[in-house]
Amino acid sequence: MLPDRIRLLDVDVNGAHSGHLAHASTYTFDYRRDDPGQPSVSLLMPPGTLHFDGGGALFPAMDMNLPEGYLFMQIRAFFPKQVITPMHLLALMGNNGIGRLGYRLADTPAAKPPAVVNKSDLLASGNGPALFEELMHAYLSTGAGISGVQPKIMVPDRATLPVPTLIVKMAADRYPGLSANEFMCLCAAQEAGIQVAPFDLSEDGSLLLIERFDIATDGTRLGFEDVASLMGQHVRDTLSDRKYHGSYERVAAALKLINLPATELARFFEQVAFTAMVRNGDGHLKNFGVLYSGVDDVRLAPLFDVVTTSIYKYQRFEGGPALEDHTMALKLFAGAKGSKTYPHAKDMMDFGRRVCGVSDPAAVIQRIAQGMVQAMAKCRTDQRIAAPLHGQMSVAWQAGLLLARELGP
């Protein structure tokens, strides 16, 4: 059970106490005053400043992982009579959210670690939806530290680590085959040499399992911030479409401000080009991010949350006409030149060279195209992927492959 009101939370970084988050009329955060060399809770909140006032909105780096969509509704159902504030959600997340931040009520004993699941058992399930419901009920109190509208939960599969290590996603009813869709996209990215976290698809094709990418090989937690957080966006406390505002050019500018190395900006170009070529119209500000152990060690996070959205129809309002998605989530360029229309090769080449500093963007585009072709071939005989879905994906990808064909031989 959670208290009716939560005014103060202890904040940890990688398990070590860092400071206090308070909420009265405003949100404030205060670092411990006895360790000026302590790690930061956010790249935008260095410990050289001991006190931060966030006004009426939660700090973006803390707002970032708050559960939304399906997961939030499950939490709402679990606490039907209680007001649920961001402070309640942080307390519920505890030490389990993506990244290295943890939250606890003062003088509250640490929760017992949940039972570890067997990854191979999850993959062998012949009834993914039923299994997902079991996981949701069993791990709701420990696996909620992840955002996104799609049904997902985090579960532990390694007894040596005190946090959930595996993200389990299930397709929403209105997006049939979404898990297999993302699996096919990740296969294409992997074939193209784009960094992704280890992933797999259950035997019935309904569950996608992805290993967390924010845990180092030695078990330490890396800091993680999505681009919305780096740009100071309070996505949760404003209109929900705020994450769809802006351009990939502005994202690149934000990454440059935190001194992301040139090699990592080149990886960002890979991710943007891939997003366009597989017709992922949901590559918004929260679907790109960085990992870091300190201000001098910041890198781009692996590609995540990538699906071919153009095969699905949507409604702008309930009962409205079914529409197809033929635009990107963000403009490619900022300003009057910007458009959400999927770019031609000329614009993508300009974006790579001028914005991301890539010397040979054509080679990147051709590499991505080859990866898509290889993934289509490999997935064609994969029994976990329904033939109609594979056909829809292949048609959608042909439009993206035109980008490579425009470059010529």
Q: What is the pLDDT of residues 390-409, one digit of tens each?
A: 999 999 999 999 999 998 76
Q: How confident is the model at residue 150, as a pLDDT?
A: 81
Partner residues linked to 303 by β-bridges: 196
Report residue 218's pLDDT band, with 50, 70 and 90 as the boundaries: confident
Q: According to the model, what pLDDT value does residue 182 have?
A: 97
- pLDDT tens digits along 328-380: 999 999 987 789 999 999 999 999 999 999 999 999 999 999 999 999 999 99
Q: What is the percentage of the chain residues whose pLDDT exceeds 90?
A: 69
Model pLDDT for residues 335-346, shown as the tens digit of each residue: 877 899 999 999
pLDDT score of 78: 85
Q: Which residues contact 202 (CB under 8 A, 6 or more apart)?
A: 122, 123, 124, 125, 128, 179, 208, 209, 384
Q: What local confidence, expressed as pLDDT, does residue 264 receive?
A: 97
11 CA to centre of own chain: 22
Kindly indicate the confidence band of residue 166, based on its pLDDT and cuts at 50, 70 and 90: very high
CA–CA distance, 149 with 168 (Å, rounded to integer): 13
**Confidence band, pLDDT 50/70/90 cuts, at residue 313:** confident
**pLDDT score recorded for residue 315:** 61
Residue 212 has pLDDT above 60, yes or no: yes
How far is CA 168 from its chain centroid?
Answer: 13
Given a contact cutoff of 8 angstroms between Cβ atoms, the answer to whether 265 and 251 are in contact is: no
What is the number of alpha carbons within 13 Å of residue 327 lying toward its C-beta? 13
Segment 120-137 shows an average pLDDT of 90
Q: Is the pLDDT of residue 38 over 80?
A: yes
> What's the confidence (pLDDT) of residue 1?
67
Residue 131: pLDDT band by 50, 70, 90 thresholds? very high
Separation between Cα atoms, residue 297 and residue 300, nearest integer Å: 10
> How many angstroms from the chain centroid is the CA of residue 247?
18
pLDDT at 325: 80
Length of the chain: 409
Place of tokens 């803390």: 62
